[in-house]
Amino acid sequence: MAERITREDALTREGFKHACHIMLYGDSSAKLFGKIPIKHIVLMQMRFDGLLGFPGGFVNPSKETLEAGLSRELHEEVGVAVSVGVDDHISSCLSQSPSSPRLITHFYIKKMSEPELKEIERAAVTTATDHGLEVMGMVRVPLYFLKNGGGLPYFLSHSFICNSRAQLLSALHHCRLLSQGELEKAVRQAEQMRH
Ligand code: GTP
Ligand code: MN
Ligand code: MN
Ligand code: MN
Ligand code: MN
Ligand code: MN
C-alpha cells in the first residue's frame, strides 16, 4: 500500500523522484452489442513493459510545475495538449513499490466530453511520438459486469504498474462511476480468477 501525503509536503521532500499520471474520463451513451450501456469512457494505457497504467510520467519539479510536466508527458503519450490544472490534482503518495523506491506519485483526474476522448484515442495512434514505443496503445476500462467475470473483474485481474490499480479503484469511487458495492464485487471476483 502507498502512504498518502499532501501536495505541499511532497514538494518539500528531498531526494525523491516525482511522477504524475492522470485518469481522463467522461460520459458516453454508447451501448455494447447495442444493448449494454457502457456509461463512461475511462482511459488507461498498455505500457511498453506489458503492464497497464495511466498516461503521464516523470516530472522534475525544479524545472517545471507538476501540471506542466504532466501536460508535456500527455503530449508525448497521447499526442494532444491536455491542459491540466492544480484543481485536477487528487492525491500524492509515497510509493511503497519495491521496483520504484523514493518515488512520489501524483494522481490527477479530468472529465472530458466524448468527442474529446475520441480525439485523444485517435491522436494516440497517429500523432503521439511514444506510440508503439513507450505506449503500446490506449485502452478503455470496461465498467460493466458480464457472465463469468467478464468486464471489470477480468480487467482488474491483469497486472498494473506501481499503485495504478489502487488509483483506478479510488478514482471510480471518487467520480461515483460505480457504487461501493459494485467495486467490492469486482475486486472479489478478480481475486478469485487470479492464478
Ligand atoms: P520515460 O519517458 O521513459 O522516462 O517514462 P515516463 O516519464 O513516461 O514514466 P512512467 O510513465 O513510466 O512513470 C514513471 C514511474 O511512475 C514508473 O517507473 C512507475 O514506477 C510509476 N508509474 C507509471 N505509471 C503509473 C501510474 O499509472 N500510476 C502510478 N501510481 N505510478 C505509475
Ligand atoms: Mn463483434
Ligand atoms: Mn512518458
Ligand atoms: Mn509514462
Ligand atoms: Mn518521461
Ligand atoms: Mn519518454
Residue among 162, 164, 167, 169 to mutate when testing ligand 1 (max atoms within 8 A of CB): 162
Kindly report the CATH number assigned to the domain that includes residue 15.
3.90.79.10
Tell me the C-alpha distance between 70 and 48, whole Å. 19
- The pLDDT tens digits of the residues spanning 74-85 come to 999 999 989 999
**pLDDT tens digits for range 6-64:** 999 999 999 999 999 999 999 999 999 999 999 999 999 999 999 999 999 999 999 99
| 2 has a pLDDT exceeding 90 | no
Is 47 among the domain residues? Answer: yes
**Domain of residue 31, residue span:** 3-142
Cell readout for 38 is 457502457
> Is 179 within the bounds of a domain?
no
Residues 6+ apart with CB under 8 A from 10: 16, 18, 92, 104, 106
52: CA distance to ligand 6 center in Å?
16
43, 56 contact by CB (below 8 A): no
Dump pLDDT digits (tens) for 37-49.
999 999 999 999 9
- 93-152 pLDDT per residue, tens: 998 778 888 999 999 999 999 999 999 999 999 999 999 999 999 999 999 999 999 999
Report the domain count for the chain: 1
Ligand showing the shortest atom-to-Cα distance for residue 75: 3
55 CA to centre of ligand 4 in angstroms = 5
Ligand nearest, relative to CA of residue 33: 2
Sign, CA dihedral 125-161-9-5, equals: positive
Classify residue 165: in a domain, yes or no. no
Residue 133 lies in a domain: yes
Compute the distance from residue 75 Cα to the ligand 5 centre, in Å. 11
ipTM: 0.96
